[in-house]
Amino acid sequence: MALNGSYLRRPRVADSHGGVRRIGPRTVWTLLAAALLLLALTDSAAANTIVETLPGWSGKLPFTLETGYVTVGDNDDIELFYYFIESERNPVRDPLLLWLTGGPGCSGFSGLVYEIGPLTYDYATFNGSLPTLLPNPYSWTQIASIIFIDAPVGTGFSYSTSQSGYYSSDTKSARDIYTFLRKWIIDHPKFSLVPLYISGDSYSGMIVPQVTQLVLQGNEAGLNPYLNLQGFILGNPVTDLHNDENARVPFMHRVSLISDEIYESAKTNCNGEYIHPSLANSTCIDDIRTIAECTIKVCDAQILEPKCSFAKPKPLGLSWGKKFFDEDMPSEYLKLPTEHDESWCRNSNYVLSYVWANNEEVQEALNIRKNTIPNWVRCNKSLAYDSNLVSVTEYNYNIIKDGYRALVYSGDHDMLIPHTGTEGWIYSFNMTVVDDWRPWFVDGQIAGGRVIQHQSTILSNAFR
């Protein structure tokens, strides 16, 4: 389907006043084109739904929620599902964020209900039945409209109508998401002029810069619609696979998970290469084994939290899975431990999303197409996905150099994608510091620190 907006124009059909007249070839083609156009409009209108109530929520939703599908792919065989929430302040003026959750393969719903969206679960009352939804007082939708997308294909409720359509990669996923965004803006013209930010966290740090670059290239080429891009937002982003993973050992030392002696020995013997050292370097291998023994029981997503008892053990080494948290669904889970119980762990919270999103009434409310996916999972680990990029650091540099805004933030206790690695690639740009590092506050308490560089880049660390 064309992306220039022409498919939104309604055809004019002459009135025959009931008379019978011969139809020439040109008229036949005109009527056929009109019929196809009308069909496209009908499909487009049916592809999204305003959701006013949700199972688990009492009463009408206090914000505008739209769900739907957008067709993308080289053969138009991919249906990407999304949740769109209008800003609760001023949607015609407030920024529009396209939010990509990490993985790859983690649903946009995870970002909506566990991170920055207006909904969260009532964990305290969960008993195994349909979870209760509560408002999130820290939702970003208080000041911005957000599209939460299930991408790449095979994520969440997104699906393909062909087997070949399920293949994806870093570069293909970015192209599909860019096509999604342009089609979505055409269908939602009132958001075409608001400030646009491409946003995401974790592994989407590999995708966000690509999509941002594609938007810039499309604008420069004069493609319609013009996208009012202002910049990008990255949270704990994977940016350079090699550097991000190697940054874990210095981070472990900084937070005292390993001793000075162990760290200095590894730094000397491994020469900064902790993930893929030479097997002939036996002293480095010994140091890595020692480091692994010191950290194998640490929750790498948040080092202050307990490690999940029902997660699969990771191998004894530092080549941890860079993409996923271990998330096995225990079938016997009937009651969710609270955060104050010794048995509580971060992944316990994810149980509620499986119960909720696989509920038939929930899927009906979200207007999910029947028989398109076998069952919903928060993070699909079985994608046919090729991580075909090693680094997107150059993308980030080029975008920032051209004057676009960037917010990059990290949690200070994330060992999977430590802030030390993120700081490394930002400082490698040698940008001018506009505002030196200083604390930022929430309710009078220090919540983190931040620094502004190059008038457009803010690096922020959030403290636990």
**Which residues have CB under 8 Å from 338's CB, separation 6+?**
123, 124, 344
Angle of helix 282-295 versus helix 260-270 axis, rounded to 10? 140
Asked whether residue 148 falls in the same domain as residue 251, the answer is: no
- Exposed / middle / buried, residue 7 (Cβ in 10 Å: 0-12, 13-18, 19+): middle
Is there a contact between 98 and 105 (Cβ–Cβ < 8 Å)? no
Going by their DSSP bridges, the two strands 384-386 and 48-51 should be labelled as unpaired
Question: Does 94 share its domain with 231?
Answer: yes
Residue 320 has pLDDT above 80, yes or no: no
Instruction: Specify the DSSP element, H or E, that contains 435.
Output: strand 433-442
Last-in-domain residue among 309, 333, 354 = 354
Q: With cut-offs at 50, 70 and 90, classify the pLDDT of residue 3.
A: very low
Look at residues 264, 267, 318 and name the one whose alpha carbon lies nearest to residue 291: 318
Structure tokens at 192: 């075409």
Residue 332, pLDDT score: 38
Q: How far is Cα 28 from Cα 30, in angstroms, rounded to an integer? A: 5
Is residue 99 included in any domain, yes or no?
A: yes
Total tally of structural domains belonging to the chain: 2
pTM of the model: 0.85
Query: At which of 308, 333, 354 does a domain end?
Result: 354
Q: How far is CA 333 from the centre of its chain?
A: 27
Of the spans 7-21, 32-46, 170-184, 331-345, which averages the highest pLDDT?
170-184
Whole-angstrom Cα distance, residue 83 to residue 75?
A: 24
The domain in which residue 417 lies consists of 79-237+389-462
pLDDT at 346: 74
- Residue among 97, 194, 81, 82 nearest 142 (CA): 97
Among residues 310, 328, 354, the one where a domain terminates is 354
Neighbours of 262 (CB within 10 A): 18
In-domain check, residue 54: no
Q: So what's the pLDDT on residue 272?
A: 92
Dihedral (CA of 25, 31, 32, 37) sign: positive
Q: Given this model, what pLDDT does residue 463 score?
A: 67
Does 451 fall in a domain?
yes
Entry field: residues in the chain: 464
CATH code for position 153: 3.40.50.1820
Residues 208 and 252 in one domain: no
The pLDDT value recorded for residue 23 is 39
Give the position of tokens 């993409």. Answer: 323
Residues 260 and 221 in one domain: no
Same domain as 308, residue 210: no
Are residues 155 and 139 part of one domain? yes
252 in the same domain as 231? no
Whole-number Å distance between alpha carbons of 204 and 294: 29
pLDDT tens digit sequence for 245-281: 999 999 999 999 999 999 999 999 999 999 999 999 9
Q: What are phi and psi of 235, to 5 degrees?
A: -115, 125
H-only helix segments in 77-207: 108-114, 170-187
Are 224 and 193 contained in the same domain? yes
> Looking at the domain assignment, is residue 260 inside a domain?
yes
The C-alpha atoms of residue 419 and residue 421 are separated, in whole angstroms, by 5
311 touches 347 (CB < 8 A): yes
State whether 256 and 208 are in the same domain.
no
The predicted-structure confidence for 329-386, as pLDDT tens digits, reads as follows 544 343 455 555 555 677 788 999 999 999 999 999 999 999 999 999 999 999 999 9
* One domain, residues 194 and 312: no
- Domain assignment present for residue 95? The answer is yes
Go through 437-461 and write b for each residue having 16 or more CB atoms within 10 A of its CB, e for each that does not: eeeeeeeeeeebebbbbbebbbbbb
Q: Are residues 203 and 267 in the same domain?
A: no
The answer to whether residue 12 is domain-embedded is no
Region 95-108 average pLDDT: 97
Query: Taking the CB of residue 355, how many other CB atoms lie within 10 A of it?
Result: 19
**Is 277 part of any domain?**
yes
Query: Same domain for 116 and 206?
Result: yes
Residue 363 lies in a domain: no
Sign of the Cα pseudo-torsion (87, 91, 95, 96, in order): positive
Phi and psi (nearest 5°) for 407? -115, 120
- Measured CA to CA in angstroms, residue 383 lies from 3, 15, 60, 121, 387 at distances of 28, 52, 36, 27, 11
